[in-house]
Structure 1
Amino acid sequence: MATKAMNIRMTQTKQSLINAFFQLVSKKDFEKITVADITKGAHVNRATFYAHFHDKYELLDYIMGDSASAAIVKRTNGAEKFDQDSIVQLVLAVCDFYEQPNIQCRSSYIGFVVPQLKEKIINELKAYLSKSLDNSYADTEKNLYVPIYAQVIHEGAFQWTSGNVITSKEEVAKRVSLLLMNGQ
């Protein structure tokens, strides 16, 4: 019972640190945010912060990775399949990921955060695709196709998110899925 209470408290503390960070990014440039600012907003001491994260960069990395994973799980319900509907859901998950209010922060973060966001969501796409294609391809083929599929899914969603296409995200997702399924 004590372990369960400890895990709940650690999860709540980590979430408090994340929430404090989000409050700060809406007001300050990332480079000006300090661990002291984060701990003050979370109402914890510095040692507690360091029990969870090495520094603010690790905190940001954790937030982005967790958000990318959650977006994919939410859209796919955790089912790892490779079919037209799953590809549609993956494209929509990437759109959701980039649309999250917590991800959309000050414009000064664009050059710093966007490359990290892209890396996190593509890594999550690769993990999903790798598992969903386990029985469809030999490892050598899978090693070729997984990164390509992940890039195509990401790029379709990113084009919509960036406003480079005027069609709906659902239509973009449908077109990307048709492209990938017809290319098999």
Structure 2
Amino acid sequence: MDRRILKTQKSVMKAFAELLAEKDFNQITINEIADRADVSRGTVYLHYIDKFDLLDKCMDNYFNKLFETCMPLDDTNRLPSKYLIIHAFEYLEQHASIYTALLNNKGVPAFRKRMSAAIQESLGELVDSRGIDQEMSREVLIQFLSSAIVGVLEWWIINSLPIPAADIVKQLWSLLERFQVIPYFSDSN
């Protein structure tokens, strides 16, 4: 893709993310996005159908960045590896402003839902590959783990990272071990 197009899209996306941090999605206009990105309104429409399309592409972009950065290239070590969870929280800590905007903005409930679905999918693959106790429901285990991880992550981001990433993961991991969830997956730290 042409570097100028990428630069324009990056500028529009950055402007949109900044506006999301400042105000509710429903209050943001294409004119504001264009002004902030220092492009014309028509340029925004050349790349995005409307602000909903921009929101979808923004969520895709930041969601993909999170998972590409935090997931291994091979399938040998998937969630809930302690290392991967620490890596994810550290990445979120470094990029807190955009993820806070995506999780905290009342007009963007889809980001949390997308994150939860991706974690559930990864956990499902992990459960299928390693198995679980026959008395435990696969669906309940996956829902429990994903709700715990996403819930803690969301609380942590929305409350302005009150605990360092390594400490919050240590506490989350300890809780998972305490309720004997971790032995089903690995002994990895």
Compute the TM-score of the two structures, normalised by the length of structure 1: 0.66
**1:125 equivalent among 110, 119, 122:** 119
1:31 and 2:31 aligned: no
Q: Note closer, same or farther for the CA distance 1:44–1:18 as it changes in structure 2 (3 Å cut).
A: same
CA distance in 1, matches of 2:47, 2:124: 30
Work out the CA distance in 2 between the residues paired with 1:149 and 1:166: 21
Instruction: Answer yes or no: is the 8 Å Cα contact 1:133–1:142 preserved in 2.
Output: no
Aligned equivalent of 2:150, options 150, 154, 157: 154
Query: What is the SS of the residue equivalent to 1:101?
Result: helix
- Secondary structure at the aligned position of 1:104 is classed as helix
In structure 2, the residue matched to 1:171 is 170
CA distance in 1, matches of 2:5, 2:120: 29
Q: Distance between the aligned counterparts of 2:33 and 2:170, measured in 1?
A: 40
Q: Is the 8 A contact 1:92 1:173 kept in 2?
A: no
Is the CA contact 1:84–1:177 (under 8 Å) kept in the aligned structure 2?
no
Query: How far, CA to CA, are the matches of 2:107 and 2:90 in structure 1?
Result: 19
Q: How far apart in 1 are the matches of 2:137 and 2:63?
A: 22
The count of corresponding residues between Structure 1 and Structure 2 is 173
User: Aligned equivalents of 1:45 and 1:67: distance in 2?
Assistant: 24
CA shift at 1:18, angstroms? 0.7
Structure 1 residue 15: Cα displacement? 0.7
CA distance, structure 1, for counterparts of residue 137 and residue 54 of structure 2: 32
Tell me, yes or no, if the aligned pair for 1:157 and 1:172 is still in contact at 8 Å: no
Of 96-105 and 48-57, more deviation after overlay is shown by 96-105
> Which residue of structure 2 lines up, in the alignment, with residue 182 of structure 1?
183
Asked if 1:42 corresponds to 2:37, the answer is yes
* Cα distance in structure 2, aligned partners of 1:103 and 1:84: 20
In the alignment, structure 1 segments of 5+ residues that lack a partner are none
Does residue 70 (structure 1) correspond to residue 70 (structure 2)? The answer is no
Kept in 1, the 8 Å contact 2:100–2:158? The answer is: no
Identity %: 19
Letter of the 2:148 partner, please give it: V
Deviations 1:4-35 (A, max 9, x none): 4x3x3332221111112133335444333211
Q: What is the identity, as a one-letter code, of the residue corresponding to 1:23?
A: E
CA root-mean-square deviation: 3.8
1:61 is matched with which residue?
Answer: 56
1:88–1:177 contact (8 Å) kept in structure 2: no
Cα distance change, pair 36–22 in 1 and its aligned pair in 2 (3 A): same
Looking at structure 2, the residues matched to 148 and 50 of structure 1 have their Cα atoms a distance apart, in angstroms, of: 42
SS at match of 2:107: helix
Tell me, what secondary structure is at the counterpart of 2:49? coil
> Are residues 89 and 32 of structure 1, via their aligned partners in 2, closer, same or farther at CA, if it must alter by over 3 Å?
same
